[in-house]
Amino acid sequence: MPIAVAVWSFTLKPGEPQSLVPPHDVVITNIALGDELEDQNSRTTVKLSYLSPVNVDGDDEEEDEDSAGGGTIENTVLCSLTPGKIEQATVNITLEGEEEYLLQAVGKNTIFLTGNYVDQSPDNVPYNDESEPEDEDDFDLRDVSSDVEIDPKEMDAIENDEDDEDDSHRFEEVSDEPAPKAANSKRPRDSDMSAADEKPSKAQEKKAKKQKVASGEAVATGEIPAKAEAVPDKKEKKAKKEQKKSTARELPNGLKIADEKVGEGPQAKNGQTLSMRYIGKLQNGRVFDSNTKGKPFTFTLGKGEVIKGWDQGLMGMQAGGERLLVIPPALAYGKRKMGDIPPNSTLTFEVKLLSIK
């Protein structure tokens, strides 16, 4: 819900329309006559004129661009006040910041408008206000690995990890269980120790100094590994890169989808309840919202409870799967400003599907 942050007021003189461009979002809560009246008997009507958006949903970006600066002027009446009968009216009208409005008092008396500047930043951007807000600890990103900070502008960022053999998943829980003890902690027999205490030959020491394991760490002197782990050759790397490329796809509406990890079990479909982890970022890489621990975010797929990019981009996921979504403005918030998200923003979400119900 909007949070009031400061008092706002506006004096409306009778006559010509007066322009109003609030610096921030404003909610008008009360309209009243002043203590001094020019006419004790006549009625004064308060009118509001505003420019309607061309395409509220932002489904057709080309049409929006062609119609930039267009739209139609809409007129409405907020209230009518008459001295001695109705001298004030309680309203709930929200005016968006940095937008121009025209207010006009049709009559002879001066009108006073009162309200509040408000902060309309949502608690959780991908879903509506009916969902329960997360605790502050749920948005702590200190547990998220540094590899989150990828470049969200280009899908090629998915393909540049060809040298990473095992990327730790940023959403997985860390186990606090102690490491198991050795199966047998007894002192070895003398006959067993004799073989272990034998010193390697000089040739063996020289070979051990030069030998390295696949990770690049030198083998300690006196230790001769049975066999160094094989390092993938160029063909294997290329095959893995091509396989990773094949998981990235772009839909005709501009939605880009890449599976970082394929889950198991049935695929998600409309009408099912999904339990999610996610990290949302702007094109400049700044994180504007996340859910990486604590209570997962749940919603019903295909019911319009989230942005269109989520309803379409999460179809077919399996439990345990991780996916990268690059969502164009038409499938996110379009021309609307949503909290810290500027208008016409392309959004990037790293998501993990925990369960399907």
227-263 residue pLDDT tens = 445 555 666 666 665 555 557 889 999 999 999 999 9
Domain ranges of the chain: 3-119, 136-162+233-356
Instruction: Say how far apart CA 291 and CA 140 lie, in whole Å.
Output: 9
Structure-model confidence comparison of residues 110 and 71, the more confident one: 110
CA distances from 59 to 33, 55, 334 (A): 43, 7, 8
**Alpha-carbon torsion angle 52, 55, 57, 59, nearest 10:** -170
How confident is the model over 291-308, as pLDDT tens digits? Answer: 999 999 999 999 999 999
How confident is the model over 254-273, as pLDDT tens digits? Answer: 999 999 999 999 999 999 99
Structure-model confidence comparison of residues 339 and 327, the more confident one: 327
Q: What is residue 126's predicted lDDT score, i.e. its pLDDT? A: 55
Residue 333 falls in the annotated catalytic set: yes
Query: CA 266, 271, 276, 280 torsion: positive or negative?
Result: positive
Instruction: Say how far apart CA 300 and CA 187 lie, in whole Å.
Output: 60
**Alpha-carbon torsion angle 315, 318, 319, 321, nearest 10:** -90
The mean per-residue pLDDT over the stretch 92-111 comes to 90
Nearest to 91 by CA among 71, 112, 106, 107: 112
Active-site entry in 10, 139, 288, 340? 288
Phi-psi sector, 235: left (phi>0), alpha (psi -120 to 50), beta: alpha
Q: What is residue 240's predicted lDDT score, i.e. its pLDDT? A: 61
Most trustworthy range by pLDDT among 37-41, 200-204, 327-331? 327-331
Output DSSP code: residue 212.
B
Q: What is residue 331's predicted lDDT score, i.e. its pLDDT? A: 95
Tokens of 181: 């003890």
Active-site entry in 307, 327, 341, 356? 307
Strand partners, 267: 318
Q: What is residue 204's predicted lDDT score, i.e. its pLDDT? A: 64
Active-site entry in 101, 171, 278, 297? 278
Q: What is residue 228's predicted lDDT score, i.e. its pLDDT? A: 47
Using the CB atoms, write b or e for 252-265: b if 16+ within 10 Å: eeebbbbbbeebee
- Judge whether residue 345 has pLDDT over 60: yes
In angstroms, how far is CA 180 from the centroid of its own chain?
A: 40
Active-site entry in 50, 289, 327, 341? 289
Instruction: Say how far apart CA 126 and CA 149 lie, in whole Å.
Output: 20
Instruction: Say how far apart CA 356 and CA 318 lie, in whole Å.
Output: 8
The mean per-residue pLDDT over the stretch 127-148 comes to 45
Q: What angle do CA 80, 81, 82 make, to 5 degrees?
A: 130
Structure-model confidence comparison of residues 349 and 155, the more confident one: 349
Residue 289 falls in the annotated catalytic set: yes
Structure-model confidence comparison of residues 301 and 124, the more confident one: 301
The pTM of this model reads 0.38
Q: What is residue 335's predicted lDDT score, i.e. its pLDDT? A: 92
Residue 278 falls in the annotated catalytic set: yes
Instruction: Say how far apart CA 167 and CA 15 lie, in whole Å.
Output: 68
Q: What is the side-by-side order of every strand in the sheet holding 44-51? A: 18-20, 101-106, 44-51, 73-81
The mean per-residue pLDDT over the stretch 209-233 comes to 51
Structure-model confidence comparison of residues 102 and 181, the more confident one: 102
Q: What is residue 66's predicted lDDT score, i.e. its pLDDT? A: 44
The mean per-residue pLDDT over the stretch 70-87 comes to 87
Of the options 3.30.830.10, 3.10.50.40, 3.40.190.10, 3.50.50.60, the CATH number for the domain spanning 136-162+233-356: 3.10.50.40
Active-site entry in 327, 341, 349, 356? 349
Tokens of 158: 């998915």
- Give me the phi and psi of 197, to 5 degrees please: -85, -5
Residue 349 falls in the annotated catalytic set: yes
Instruction: Say how far apart CA 98 and CA 94 lie, in whole Å.
Output: 13
Instruction: Say how far apart CA 163 and CA 240 lie, in whole Å.
Output: 10
Q: What is residue 106's predicted lDDT score, i.e. its pLDDT? A: 93
What is the topology classification, in CATH, of domain 3-119?
Answer: Jelly Rolls (2.60.120)
The mean per-residue pLDDT over the stretch 2-12 comes to 85
Active-site entry in 101, 117, 171, 333? 333
Say how many Å lie between the first and final Cα of the chain, rounded. 29
Q: What is residue 29's predicted lDDT score, i.e. its pLDDT? A: 93
Most trustworthy range by pLDDT among 24-28, 55-59, 135-139? 24-28
Output DSSP code: residue 14.
B
Instruction: Say how far apart CA 255 and CA 332 lie, in whole Å.
Output: 10
Contact 24, 115 (CB under 8 A): no
Q: What is residue 35's predicted lDDT score, i.e. its pLDDT? A: 85
Tokens of 192: 């067993």
Count Cα atoms within 13 angstroms, Cβ side, for 223.
10
Contact 292, 159 (CB under 8 A): no
The mean per-residue pLDDT over the stretch 126-144 comes to 46
Amino acid identity, residue 261? Answer: K
Contact 205, 224 (CB under 8 A): no
The mean per-residue pLDDT over the stretch 127-133 comes to 44
